[in-house]
Amino acid sequence: MFKSPSILVCSLLLSACSVNLQQAEDPSTKQLVREKNSFQVYVTKVELASGYTLVVSEGLLEPRSIGSVTVKLYRDLTLGDFVSAVSFSRDGTIFESVLVENATNKQQLSITTVTAGSGNYQTSQFICIQGEKMSLC
């Protein structure tokens, strides 16, 4: 039937590929898979002296170069015991988030962003935490 083994192997490979290509997939699933594989996001947690935890993150599905920052305060992150949050706009990606004050009754978090492009300009936004209240400061 086939004159050479390489033609037989090629025929088998092509038929196997055609079977996979003909399988129908939900288009919305393809979109989600592509988005999950194509974006990165900054997210970190910061432990406070009060025992609370902060979660700092860039907005999901936003471009890395511009968007929002959200800081969430939890009594207990393991249990998901959420207290409050603050969000603000950002021009650039989050470079770092560091506690600059960490007393048991008052904390201050610095979030530094770096702009995209050749300038690499840095900007810092401070978040003040007193008890269970958070605000930009």
Q: Residue 118 sits in a domain of what CATH number?
A: 2.40.128.460
More confident residue, 46 or 24: 46
pLDDT at position 47 over 80: yes
Sheet (strand 106-114) strand order:
93-102, 106-114, 122-130, 133-136
pLDDT digit string, tens, across residues 5-23? 444 434 434 444 333 334 4
82 strand-pairing partners: 74
Assess if residue 46 is contained within a domain: yes
Assess if residue 11 is contained within a domain: no
Assess if residue 12 is contained within a domain: no
Assess if residue 32 is contained within a domain: no
Total domains present in the chain: 1
pLDDT digit string, tens, across residues 73-93? 999 999 999 999 999 999 999
Query: Structural domain of residue 125, as residue ranges?
Result: 38-136
Structure token digits, residue 109: 């978090």
14 in helix, strand or coil?
helix
- What's the whole-model pTM score? 0.70
Residue 27 pLDDT level (bands cut at 50, 70, 90): very low
